[in-house]
Structure 1
Amino acid sequence: MVRAWARERPDLDVRPLEVLSRVSRLARHLDLARRSAFARHGLEGWAFDVLSALRRAGVPYRLSPGALLTQTLVTSGTMTNRVDRLEQAGLVRRLPSPDDRRGVLVELTDAGRGRVDSAMADLLAVEESLLAGLDPAARARLADLLRALTAPFDA
């Protein structure tokens, strides 16, 4: 693709495509691999995102809806819908907030913790296989380069 663009538009510097088109293709492959790993555990990507945010919070595996919004980058209405669906599936529960009479906390249930833990183990096995062709030093270099590339977006 890069060579074809260079041939068709010699007036353009197409070198960014050498990196970013590959990142885009890799993202598509990774998305498919992740969807497959999550599906084996009866989860969709959005559900894994919410459950994993709660799991990473540590004992007692609770967060406010606002904290979940911040971590998953979705709107309030979307988060309400997601928590509703996860609650119906028995993976989370809502509890009254001890700090705010009108507020709630979202807590991971034992079933939710088991589901996210098994999905995470499966995901890591899949991702390890995707990186199998890189030695530890190459992985570290790649991680550093990707961190530098994504830092402006995360700021």
Structure 2
Amino acid sequence: MKNLIKILFLFLGLTIFKAQQTTIETVKYEDLEKRIQKENDKLLVVNFWATTCAPCVKELPHFMEINEKYKDNPQFKMILVSLDRLVDKERVLKFIKNKNIRAEVILLDDIKRMNTWIPRFEKNWDGNIPVTIFYKNGEKVHFNDGEMSKEELEQTITKNL
């Protein structure tokens, strides 16, 4: 009986873990913009990346380490915005699972309008990734174009938290 209960709890735990790893919200630019404004009581770190971008993938472990450090701080939130194509959603989900990504990941399905929404996020953004934008109280406080080191990420968060 004890073994049956252990197996049941193991199965239930794996089912819950799998459910957490197999969902990713797909949004348009306007949805992301509203989401940023909604998180106005936090330091919000928004990282734009893609699974096919080597510098993006290289910096993700730093983001995960910092996210883990601040995850219990109610004044902090990290969102990873995948710019992968919608048809690659399954690949993104596998990547999240394989790399043990713990921050919230959303898929921005708005590639056709990039020339419209990129300058709305940052007029100096040339469209290359990775890009990280920091918001405090709904206002942009820092824009980082390119890969961030763990130290740069930590310093920017500490300065603005």
Bin for the TM-score computed over the shorter chain: under 0.3
* Bigger relative contact order (CA 8 A; separation at least 6): 2
TM-score, normalised to structure 2's length? 0.24
Q: Which has the larger radius of gyration?
A: 1
TM-score, normalised to structure 1's length? 0.25
Q: Comparing both structures, which one devotes a greater share of its residues to strand?
A: 2
